[in-house]
């Protein structure tokens, strides 16, 4: 079949029959169907009515907003809803139910599940959504430790599904994880070989209570597509797949970017006006108070500014460049802390590096500013004051860019939590203090 364009897909979904869509369904990705639904919302019922249950389940899973997932589900009658939910994976169902704000809506979805699925989902809902238990799925194929290769192959013939992986986990009678084995090892071994003779006992696992960000780091470290989740007694509870980890990484990255800008980690471009306002205003108020602090510093040097008016034109350059330098240092440190690249062994070395970078950057930028200020005021002493203030403020900026996220981390606060606001406060206050303080000391030479 030729590559299907978005226009062709849209026409097929809106105007095609169920039979025509069914013939082409293997070549259509659920994410592309979701795009069409979002672009042509008025055709939602028309399109969904022609899709098979498993594809509808995939489309719902592609939708990131749980409220929108529920809206899609509600377009069907109760029996059809149950059939669609039966096609969804346990972890996606748990996410859908766990994120619904209305208790009646959560109960409504749970009531449409069969007893086995309901039990699995309720067990998943017990875990914190931001932990390994909250993002794992209980759907995985396990092999009994006392089986032979032949019995294992016979078992797999009855269990193979579309998403079966190349690696399978071996459990004993108590569900304790004994090792991992590849399909290649199974099919290449004699039928009478005991599974435990070819199993790899060195399995990288994830604790069920591990924070999802730590889970993502572990996946990045080992490069696995799937990892087993175990409890304190090494009983296997589920698996986490790479697509779940990618969602976590996107979520954590978005949250960190928002927090560094002084916004809620939950805000998105499609958030309502009220949600966005509630997210941003509290930190803007905090920023207002930090701006007042900077203004208070300036107020203490009013007499100096009154005598050398040109100071007011240059001091914003000193504080602005300091803020930029602090943001650079802050960004690198937040990333390093997030990825576990900063620890007790290298913390002091990194601190010294940031001081050195701040000093070198300050000298280079300070010389340029000094020359510009000298030319602007036709006074070499004015240039010296501006250059020295720039060096000191950029040094302070790099120190703040290091210390603020590290201190927040020590206090068990997300390092990205509005660190930018605090670093900017330091660079503004110290920038004004250094520049106007030095100007006061050199005042007779500036007049």
Give the pLDDT of residue 433.
92
CB of 358 within 8 A of CB of 325?
Answer: yes
Which residues fall within 8 angstroms of residue 152, CB to CB, at 6 or more apart? 143, 144, 186, 195
**N-term to C-term CA, the chain:** 81
Average pLDDT value for residue range 256-268:
60
Q: What pLDDT digit, counting tens, does each position of 290-332 carry?
A: 788 888 888 888 888 888 888 888 888 898 898 888 888 888 8
What is the Cα–Cα distance from 40 to 47, expressed in whole angstroms?
Answer: 10
Could you tell me the pLDDT band of residue 417, with boundaries at 50, 70 and 90?
low
pLDDT at 262 over 70: no
pTM over 0.85: no
Give the pLDDT of residue 230.
94
Give the pLDDT of residue 277.
76
Average pLDDT value for residue range 140-159:
84
Give the pLDDT of residue 389.
94
Of 5-19, 67-81, 128-142, 247-261, least confident by mean pLDDT is 247-261
Give the pLDDT of residue 368.
94
Could you tell me the pLDDT band of residue 289, with boundaries at 50, 70 and 90?
confident
How much is the mean pLDDT over the chain? 84
What is the Cα–Cα distance from 417 to 398, expressed in whole angstroms?
Answer: 18
Give the pLDDT of residue 28.
85
H-helix segments, 160-222? 183-187, 195-198, 212-222
More reliable by pLDDT, 272 or 259: 272
Domains and their CATH numbers in the chain: 6-135 (1.25.60.10), 142-253 (3.10.580.10), 273-446 (1.10.357.20)
- Checking DSSP bridges between strand 177-182 and strand 167-171, what pairing results, if any? antiparallel
What is the Cα–Cα distance from 245 to 135, expressed in whole angstroms?
Answer: 8
Could you tell me the pLDDT band of residue 1, with boundaries at 50, 70 and 90?
very low
Give the pLDDT of residue 361.
92
More reliable by pLDDT, 191 or 165: 191
Q: What are phi and psi of 120, to 5 degrees?
A: -60, -45
Of 157-171, 291-305, 322-336, 420-434, least confident by mean pLDDT is 157-171
C-beta contacts of 385-388 below 8 A and 24+ residues apart? 385/435, 385/438, 385/439, 385/442, 385/446, 386/314, 386/317, 386/318, 386/435, 388/434, 388/438
pLDDT at 164 over 70: no
Q: What pLDDT digit, counting tens, does each position of 183-224 carry?
A: 888 888 898 999 999 999 998 999 999 988 888 888 888 888
Give the pLDDT of residue 158.
77
Give the pLDDT of residue 214.
86
The percentage of the chain sitting over the pLDDT mark of 70, rounded to a whole number, equals: 91
What is the Cα–Cα distance from 350 to 357, expressed in whole angstroms?
Answer: 10
With H, G, I as helix, E, B as strand and everything else as coil, classify residue 307.
helix
Q: What pLDDT digit, counting tens, does each position of 67-114 carry?
A: 788 888 888 888 888 888 888 888 788 888 887 777 888 888 888 888
Give the pLDDT of residue 254.
66
Average pLDDT value for residue range 16-36:
86
Task: Give CA 89 to chain center in angstroms.
Answer: 22
Give the pLDDT of residue 255.
65
């Amino acid at each position: 079949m030729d590559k299907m364009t978005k226009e062709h897909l849209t026409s097929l979904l809106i105007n095609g029959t169920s039979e025509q869509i069914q013939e082409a369904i293997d070549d259509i990705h659920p994410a592309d169907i979701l795009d069409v639904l979002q672009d042509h919302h008025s055709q939602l019922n028309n399109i969904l009515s022609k899709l098979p249950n498993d594809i509808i389940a995939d489309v719902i899973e592609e939708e990131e907003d749980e409220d929108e997932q529920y809206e899609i589900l509600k377009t069907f009658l109760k029996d059809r809803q149950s059939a669609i939910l039966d096609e969804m994976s346990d972890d996606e169902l748990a996410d859908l139910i766990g994120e619904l704000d209305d208790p009646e809506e959560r109960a409504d979805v749970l009531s449409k599940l069969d007893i086995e699925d309901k039990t699995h989902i309720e067990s998943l809902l017990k875990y914190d959504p931001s932990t390994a238990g909250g993002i794992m799925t209980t759907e995985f194929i396990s092999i009994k430790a006392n089986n032979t290769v032949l019995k294992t192959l016979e078992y797999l013939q009855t269990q193979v599904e579309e998403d079966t992986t190349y690696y399978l986990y071996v459990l004993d009678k108590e569900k304790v994880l004994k090792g991992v084995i590849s399909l290649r090892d199974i099919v290449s071994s004699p039928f009478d070989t005991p599974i435990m003779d070819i199993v790899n006992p060195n399995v990288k696992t994830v604790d069920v209570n591990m924070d999802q960000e730590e889970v993502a780091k572990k996946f990045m470290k080992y490069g696995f597509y799937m990892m087993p989740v175990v409890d304190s007694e090494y009983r296997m509870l589920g698996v986490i797949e790479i697509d779940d980890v990618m969602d976590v990484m996107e979520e954590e990255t978005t949250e960190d970017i928002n927090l560094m800008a002084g916004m809620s980690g939950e805000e998105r471009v499609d958030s309502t006006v009220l949600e966005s306002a509630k997210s941003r205003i509290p930190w803007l108020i905090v920023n207002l108070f930090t701006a007042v602090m900077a203004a208070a510093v300036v107020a203490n040097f009013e007499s100096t500014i009154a005598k050398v008016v040109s100071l007011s034109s240059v001091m914003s350059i000193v504080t602005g460049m300091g803020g930029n330098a602090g943001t650079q240092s802050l960004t690198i440190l937040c990333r390093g802390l997030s990825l576990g690249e900063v620890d007790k062994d290298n913390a002091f070395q990194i601190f010294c590096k940031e001081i050195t970078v701040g000093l070198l950057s300050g000298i280079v930028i300070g010389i340029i500013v000094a020359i510009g200020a000298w030319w602007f005021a036709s006074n070499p002493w004015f240039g010296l004051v501006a250059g020295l203030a720039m060096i000191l403020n950029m040094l302070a900026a790099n120190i703040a860019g290091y210390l603020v996220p590290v201190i927040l981390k020590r206090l068990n606060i997300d390092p990205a939590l509005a660190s930018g606001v605090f670093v900017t406060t330091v660079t503004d206050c110290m920038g004004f203090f250094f520049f106007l303080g030095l100007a006061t000391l050199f005042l007779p030479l500036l007049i």
